[in-house]
Structure 1
Amino acid sequence: MRALAVIPARYLSTRLEGKPLLKLGDRTVVQRVWDATIASGEFDDVVVATDDERIFDAVQGFGGSAVMTSSSLANGSERVAAAADLMQGEYDVVANVQGDQPFVSQAALGALLAPFREGETADMTTVAMPLQPEFADDPNTVKIVTDAHGRALYFSRSLIPANPRGVAHPYLQHLGLYAFRRDVLRQFPTLSPTPLERAENLEQLRALEHGFVILARAAVSSSIEINTPEDYERAQAWVREHEGVQS
């Protein structure tokens, strides 16, 4: 099985502009994502997909591979699809490794690809882990519920399930990694946006609403996703504590 990892990276983020080029210690956010994805050994090829020449130049500057994609693309998955079309190789699976996850682990990336390597029936895969209580009410932390076979039923920025009776239930956090069968990724940009996708502002709901099967595998723990200035401060603190490097 040949697998491509695409790292979508936009400069004009509404919540934290320029975040791919923010420094964490001695490296930028996008370089840390690149380095972790390469070091995982899970992928045949890795490329950064961007619509900004500053990010393109920075990636080439640290020896990475990058492609320019349109600024009109609606979300990361559409950018991943556009980048995959620009690549020369033939791939069975294409992964979206979000450019805001500088500490993404080999274990999480391995879990993302495992269902395809094991012959599971799925259109897409993703990764989930136990939800930390302090993020239960955080709309930037996406939650997921699955069926008994690990297939995603719904994603939300709200806490799900509502659980008014207090039934023992493992709340799950969704880590924003996706892997697509190559034929499914080709279809994704042609799918019309959907009501739940617009309501939650979560692109994966478009796939669910159009009937695609998303299989979620478990990860042991989460890593810091940088969506807001507060997330960036937490990431800086993590680098100082674990690497002894000042940002």
Structure 2
Amino acid sequence: MSVLIVIPARYASTRYPGKPLVDLRGADGVAKSLIRRSWDAAMQVDGVDRVVVATDDDRIKQAAEAFGAEVVMTSEACRNGTERCAAAIDAMDESYDIVVNLQGDAPLTPAWFISDLVAGIQARPDVDVATPVLRTEGRALNGFLDDRRAGRVGGTTAVFGASMNALYFSKEVIPYTGQTFADDADTPVFHHVGVYAYRPDALRAYGTWPIGPLETLEGLEQLRFLEQARSVLCVEVDAKGRQFWELNNPEDVPRIEAMLKEMGAD
């Protein structure tokens, strides 16, 4: 199956304007923009036919083309990354069997997360969308809880059934445990990794559906699929000792830079 990776990026983020162009310093002390690090992460994935940045902003376009990325311009009317991916494939001259949305705020996404995600949706022709989930250790869970206590939007969590089909996604920490976990202990909470694999027909249909109350309340684009009774497969991935975090708030910059340094990632 042919695979396209789209990296949606917009400048006018509500929570963090200009986020794709924010610099992150690696272990070597060299600063690279968030969009550059996201592009580098995508380029490390095997078996991908094409990678593009999808944006509506000339500043992002110029920055991305400066480091060699292919850019597809999309409408300012796109309300989230999924809609921007749909707009990107409509603007392109080729079709693909699977479209991967590697959101431009997740530069720590390991290549095998995406490879496992693609393999997961290929093995399940009954699902329209797949997304990775990562079992949290105590350190990550405590970070989520600290963010919520401080009134910050941290990582998204996911719950799913026996078939691994999603039941719900939330910016709150679910399921509730009421327990305290050691930093290196496994917990029953799964971190939703902000990457998606879509079948093109489902991706194109997404933009025709109304935004439902759950998507409105949570601000989570994937809930539109659940509200339309579409199957979303959760693919459990293994961090293999790597830390993972998205850049959601300015406070996340030093956290991600510390992770890059700890990993020895330039």
Change (3 A) 1:46 1:244: closer
Structure 2: segments with no counterpart, 5+ residues: 148-152, 181-185
> Contact 1:38/1:46 (CA < 8 Å) preserved in 2?
yes
Deviations 1:180-235 (A, max 9, x none): 10110010000110011111111111110101100011112352211111111112
Q: Corresponding residue for 1:140?
A: 154
- Give yes or no for the alignment of 1:215 onto 2:206: no
Alignment of 1:95-244 (within 5 A): 95-131=100-136, 132-137=140-145, 138=147, 139-163=153-177, 170-221=188-239, 223-243=244-264
Letter in 2 for 1:16: Y
Residue number in structure 1 paired with 2:183:
none
TM alignment of 1:3-152, pairs within 5 A: 3-25=3-25, 26=30, 27-131=32-136, 132-137=140-145, 138=147, 139-152=153-166
What is the CA distance between 1:117 and its match in structure 2? Answer: 2.8
Change (3 A) 1:54 1:113: same
Residues 226 and 235 of structure 1 are in contact (CA less than 8 Å); yes or no, is this contact kept in structure 2?
yes
Letter in 2 for 1:44: D
CA positional deviation for 1:119:
4.4
* Cα drift, residue 31 of structure 1: 1.0
What is the distance in 2 between the residues matched to 1:109 and 1:226?
A: 18
The one-letter amino acid paired with 2:100 is A
TM-score of the pair, normalised by structure 2: 0.86
Q: Report percent identity of matched pairs.
A: 40
* 1:42–1:109 Cα contact (<8 Å) kept: no
| Count of matched residue pairs | 244
Instruction: Output the aligned Cα RMSD.
Output: 2.0
- 2-structure distance, mates of 1:159, 1:204: 17
Q: What is the TM-score of this pair, normalised by structure 1?
A: 0.92
| Equivalent-residue separation in structure 1 for 2:58 and 2:260 (angstroms) | 27
Unmatched 5+ residue regions in structure 1? none
